[in-house]
C-alpha cells in the first residue's frame, strides 16, 4: 500500500469532493462495466442474449456454465492452461530475478547490451516471426507440447520482468549486500537470503505479469498446439466462435470462467502492484 | 622473478604471458557469477529470438513459401522405387524483390496500414497516458475508499486480452450489443460499427484504451509516490496553487517513469495484435488493419508466404528501432541520461 501524502495538506471544498468521487466512480464503472455485462449475459439463456432488448436479468440460468463445463473439452483446456501458466510463472520469476539482480548489482561486461536487447525483444512482431520460431521448435521436437509454449512465453515475459526487477533491486541499498558478504555470504546466498525477500512487491508483480502472459496468449498457442486435448483456454475458446454464428451464450460463460483464475492471481498481487512497479519504472 | 612473494596480483603467477589472457581470466574470476546468473536468459533469447530474427532477415531476401519449400520432388515409379528430382520451382534468393513489392503496394496496403498504425498508436498511447495520469493524480491523495477505487480501476489489467476483445466485440455487436442498445435507449440511431473504417477503428481503440490505462495508472501512481512530500509542503508554504504544484513538482518528478512507460507503451501498442485481429477483424474490407494484423493476413492467408511475413517483420522492427533511437536522442538532448 502506498503512502498517501500528508493528510490535511489541502482541505477540499465539498464541491471538489463531489467532483473527485464522481469522476472516480464513473471511471470505476467504466472499468468494471464490460466485465459485469459479460457476467450478466452469461447467466441468460441463448435466446435472451440474441434479443436486442436491454435487460440486466432475464430467465437467469446456469445452463451455459453447465454446457461449457460438461459438454466441451473446457476442463481439459483449463488444466493445460494452469500447467503452462504455473510453469511460466515459476521459471519466469526465477530467471527474471537472477538476471535482474546480476544486471543491478554487478558491473560486468555485456551488461548494457543486455539491457538494450531486452528492450529490442519487446519490438518483435510476434505474429509474424512465429514461423521461424515454429521451425526451431519443430527441430527440437517440441511442437504440440507444453514446454514449447512455456519457453515461448518466457521469451515474451522475462525481458520486461527482468527490467522491472532490476529497477527494484537498484532501490535496495547495496550496504545490505556488503553486510551479508561480511557475514560470509557468497553472491548467490546474498541474493537468495537477503535481497530477494526484500523485493517481495516486485516479485509479486512479476508473478502477476508472467501468469497473465501465459494465461491470455493466443498467437503462439494456436500455432504450436495441434491436438484438441492439448489446447490452452485462449485457443480452445475460439471453438465457440465459428465464422458465421458465434455462440455468445457459451462464449460469455467461458470468458467468465477464464477470468476467475486471473482475477485470483490479481487479488493476491494487487497490494504490491504500485510499489512493485514503481522502482522498475523510475530506474528503467 | 624477484617479486613473486611481494606481488599479490594473480598475473604474476604466470610469467611471460601477455596481459590479455590474464585480463580475460581476471574478468572471468570477477564476473563469472554475474554471467552465470544471466546465462539461461541469454541462451533462451538467443535460440528463440535472435536466431529467428537473423533467419527472418535472410528469408526476407528469398521467395520461400509453403509451396516451394522442398528441395526435391519425389515420385513413386511403377516399379516401386522412388525417383527424386530437383524441384524446378525451388525457393531462391530474390534480393530486394519482397521489399519492392511491399513498399510499392503490389502486395498488401503497406502505406495505408502504416498510417492506420500511426493513428492507432498515437491515439491509444496519448489516451493511456492522459487518463492514467489523471486517475493516478486523483488516487494519489487521501480520501475515502481510495483502496477500493484502485482495485476496481486496475481490474481490466487482470482480464486476459482475448477475453476483453470478445467482451467488447460483444458490446459493439450491431444487433444485440450493449452499445447500440444504449444508443437506442437515448434515442440515437444504432450504429453499424464495423461498416465504416473509422467507427471500426474506434471500437478497437476503445477496447485497447480500456485494457491499457491500468498499467499506465499504476506505473504513474508508483512514480508519484516516490516524489518526496517535503517538496509539496515547501511549495504550499510558498503559496503555489494545485495546478502549479502539479506542473512544477509532479510532472518533472514523473519524468523518468513517464519516459519509460511511454516508450514501452508505444512499442506494445504498435505491435498489439489480438485487439485488431479479434475485435474489428479488419472490417470493413481490411480498412481497419494495422501493420501487424494486415501483414499477418497478407502472409498467412492462402498459401503461407514465409518470406513475405519476414519482410513485414523486418520492416516493423526497423520502424520501431528508428523510433526508439530517435526517442532516446531527443531525451538525451534534454539532459536525460537514461
The answer, yes or no, to whether residue B131 has pLDDT greater than 90, is: yes
> For residue range B154-207, what is the model confidence (pLDDT) as tens digits?
888 888 888 888 888 888 887 778 888 888 888 888 788 888 888 888 988 999
Q: Using alpha carbons only, what angle is made at residue A161 by residues A156 and A163, rounded to the nearest 5 degrees? A: 110
CB contact under 8 A, B150 and A274: yes
Average pLDDT of chain A to the nearest whole number: 80
Chain B (108-147) residues lying within 8 Å, Cβ to Cβ, of chain A: 135, 138-147
Task: Work out how many CB contacts closer than 8 A connect A with B.
Answer: 293
Indicate which of A128, A187, A242 best probes the interface with B, i.e. most B CBs within 10 Å of its own CB. Answer: A128
Residue B156 cell numbers, joined:
481490466
Q: Which among A10, A155, A234 is the nearest to B242, CB-wise?
A: A10
Q: Do A121 and B49 touch (CB under 8 A)?
A: yes
List the CATH number of the domain containing A78: 1.10.3720.10
Q: What percentage of residues in chain B have a pLDDT greater than 90?
A: 7
Instruction: Please tell me which of the candidates B56, B152, B236 has its beta carbon nearest to residue A129.
Output: B56
Residues of A in contact with B324 (CB under 8 A): 119, 123
Residue showing cell 531476401: B61
For B290, the grid coordinates are 494495422
Sequential DSSP letters for A160-195: HHHHHHHHHHHTS-HHHHHHHHHTT--HHHIIIIII
Please report, rounded to a whole number, the percentage of residues in chain A having pLDDT higher than 70.
87
Domain range for A209 is: 71-283
Confidence of residue B10 (pLDDT cuts 50, 70, 90): very low
How do residues B197-211 score in pLDDT, each as one tens digit?
888 889 889 999 998
State yes or no: pLDDT of B14 exceeds 90: no
Is the pLDDT at A278 greater than 80? The verdict is: no
Number of domains in chain A: 1
* Cell numbers given for B259: 519516459
Residue with cell 521467395: B63
Q: What average pLDDT does this structure show over A69-77?
A: 83
The answer to whether residue A122 sits within a structural domain is yes
What confidence tens digit (pLDDT) does each residue in B242-283 have? 888 888 888 888 887 888 888 888 988 988 888 888 888 777
* Helix B161-171, helix A200-216: angle, nearest 10: 60
Q: What is the pLDDT of residue B107?
A: 77
Give how far Cα A271 sits from Cα of A157, A158, A274, B224, B315, Å: 21, 22, 7, 17, 40
| A248: nearest CA partner in chain B | B170
Q: Distance between CA A154 and CA B134 in Å, rounded? A: 33
Closest Cα in chain B, distance from residue A262 (Å): 6
The ipTM of this complex is 0.81
Q: Which of B34, B156, B328 to mutate to test the interface with A (most CBs of A within 10 A)?
A: B34
Q: Does residue A117 form part of some domain? A: yes
- Tell me the CATH class for B97-333: mainly alpha
The closest CB to that of A128, out of B139, B277, B292, belongs to: B292
Residue B137 Cα, gap to closest chain A Cα (Å): 11
Is A42 a domain residue?
no
What are the grid coordinates assigned to A185, written together?
A: 555470504
Asked whether residue A123 is assigned to any structural domain, the reply reads: yes
Domain assignment present for A173: yes
Strand blocks (E) in chain B = 72-76, 82-86
> What pLDDT was estimated at residue B109?
80
Give the start-to-end residue ranges of the domains of chain B.
97-333
Digit-coded pLDDT (tens) for A28-49: 998 888 888 888 888 888 777 7
Q: Are the Cβ atoms of A114 and B304 closer than 8 angstroms? A: no
Residue B209, chain A, CB below 8 Å: the answer is no
Q: Are A219 and B324 in contact (CB < 8 Å)?
A: no
pLDDT tens, residue by residue, B20-66: 667 777 777 777 777 777 888 888 888 777 888 888 888 888 888 77
State residue A284's pLDDT score: 38
Q: Is the pLDDT of residue B17 over 50?
A: no
Amino acid at each position: 500500500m502506498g503512502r498517501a501524502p500528508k493528510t490535511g495538506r489541502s482541505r477540499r471544498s465539498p464541491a471538489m469532493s463531489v467532483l473527485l468521487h464522481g469522476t472516480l466512480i464513473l471511471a470505476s464503472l467504466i472499468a468494471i462495466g464490460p466485465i459485469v455485462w459479460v457476467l450478466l449475459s452469461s447467466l441468460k439463456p441463448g435466446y435472451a442474449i440474441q434479443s436486442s432488448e436491454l435487460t440486466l436479468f432475464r430467465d437467469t440460468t446456469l445452463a451455459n456454465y453447465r454446457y461449457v463445463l460438461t459438454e466441451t473439452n473446457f476442463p481439459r483446456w483449463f488444466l493445460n492452461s494452469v500447467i503452462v501458466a504455473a510453469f511460466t510463472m515459476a521459471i519466469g520469476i526465477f530467471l527474471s530475478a537472477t538476471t535482474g539482480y546480476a544486471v543491478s548489482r554487478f558491473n560486468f561486461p555485456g551488461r548494457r547490451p543486455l539491457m538494450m536487447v531486452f528492450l529490442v525483444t519487446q519490438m518483435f512482431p510476434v505474429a509474424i516471426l512465429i514461423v521461424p520460431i515454429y521451425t526451431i521448435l519443430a527441430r527440437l521436437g517440441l511442437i504440440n507440447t507444453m514446454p514449447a509454449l512455456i519457453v515461448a512465453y518466457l521469451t515474451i515475459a522475462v525481458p520486461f520482468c527482468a527490467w522491472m526487477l532490476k529497477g527494484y533491486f537498484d532501490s535496495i541499498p547495496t550496504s545490505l549486500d556488503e553486510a551479508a558478504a561480511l557475514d560470509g555470504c557468497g553472491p548467490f546466498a546474498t541474493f537468495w537470503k537477503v535481497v530477494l525477500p526484500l523485493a517481495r512487491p516486485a516479485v509479486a508483480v512479476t508473478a502477476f505479469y508472467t501468469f497473465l502472459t501465459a494465461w491470455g496468449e493466443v498467437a503462439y498457442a494456436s500455432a504450436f498446439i495441434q491436438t484438441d486435448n492439448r489446447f490452452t483456454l485462449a485457443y480452445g475458446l475460439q471453438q465457440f466462435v465459428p465464422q458465421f454464428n458465434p455462440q455468445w451464450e457459451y462464449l460469455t460463460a467461458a470468458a467468465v470462467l477464464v477470468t476467475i483464475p486471473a482475477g485470483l492471481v490479481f487479488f493476491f498481487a494487487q497490494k504490491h502492484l504500485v510499489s512493485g512497479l514503481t522502482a522498475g519504472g523510475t530506474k528503467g | 622473478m624477484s617479486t613473486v612473494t611481494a606481488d599479490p596480483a594473480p598475473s604474476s603467477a604466470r610469467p611471460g604471458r601477455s596481459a590479455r589472457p590474464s585480463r580475460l581470466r581476471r574478468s572471468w574470476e570477477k564476473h563469472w557469477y554475474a554471467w552465470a546468473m544471466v546465462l539461461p536468459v541469454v541462451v533462451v533469447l538467443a535460440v528463440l529470438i535472435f536466431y529467428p530474427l537473423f533467419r527472418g532477415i535472410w528469408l526476407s531476401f528469398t521467395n520461400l513459401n509453403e509451396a516451394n519449400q522442398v528441395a526435391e520432388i519425389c515420385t513413386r515409379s511403377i516399379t516401386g522405387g522412388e525417383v527424386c528430382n530437383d524441384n524446378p520451382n525451388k525457393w531462391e534468393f530474390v534480393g530486394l524483390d519482397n521489399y519492392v513489392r511491399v513498399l510499392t503496394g503490389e502486395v498488401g496496403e503497406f502505406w495505408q496500414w502504416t498510417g492506420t498504425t500511426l493513428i492507432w498508436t498515437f491515439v491509444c498511447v496519448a489516451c493511456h497516458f492522459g487518463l492514467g495520469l489523471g486517475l493516478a493524480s486523483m488516487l494519489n491523495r487521501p480520501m475515502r475508499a481510495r483502496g477500493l477505487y484502485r482495485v476496481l480501476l486496475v481490474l481490466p489489467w487482470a482480464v486476459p486480452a482475448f477475453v476483453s476483445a470478445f467482451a467488447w466485440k460483444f458490446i459493439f455487436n450491431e444487433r444485440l450489443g450493449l452499445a447500440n442498445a444504449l444508443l437506442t435507449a437515448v434515442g440515437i440511431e444504432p450504429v453499424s460499427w464495423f461498416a465504416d473504417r473509422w467507427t471500426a477503428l474506434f471500437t478497437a481503440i476503445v477496447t485497447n484504451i480500456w485494457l491499457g490505462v491500468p498499467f499506465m495508472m499504476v506505473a504513474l501512481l508508483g512514480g508519484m509516490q516516490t516524489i518526496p512530500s517535503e517538496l509539496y509542503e515547501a511549495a504550499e508554504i510558498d503559496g503555489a496553487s494545485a495546478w502549479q504544484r502539479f506542473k512544477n513538482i509532479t510532472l518533472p518528478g514523473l519524468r523518468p517513469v513517464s519516459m519509460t512507460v511511454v516508450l514501452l507503451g508505444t512499442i506494445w501498442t504498435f505491435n498489439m495484435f489480438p485487439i485488431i485481429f479479434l475485435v474489428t477483424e479488419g472490417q470493413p474490407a481490411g480498412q481497419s488493419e494495422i501493420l501487424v494484423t494486415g501483414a499477418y493476413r497478407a502472409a498467412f492467408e492462402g498459401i503461407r508466404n514465409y518470406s513475405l511475413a519476414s519482410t513485414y517483420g523486418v520492416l516493423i522492427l526497423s520502424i520501431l528501432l528508428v523510433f526508439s533511437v530517435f526517442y532516446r536522442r531527443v531525451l538525451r538532448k534534454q539532459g536525460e541520461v537514461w
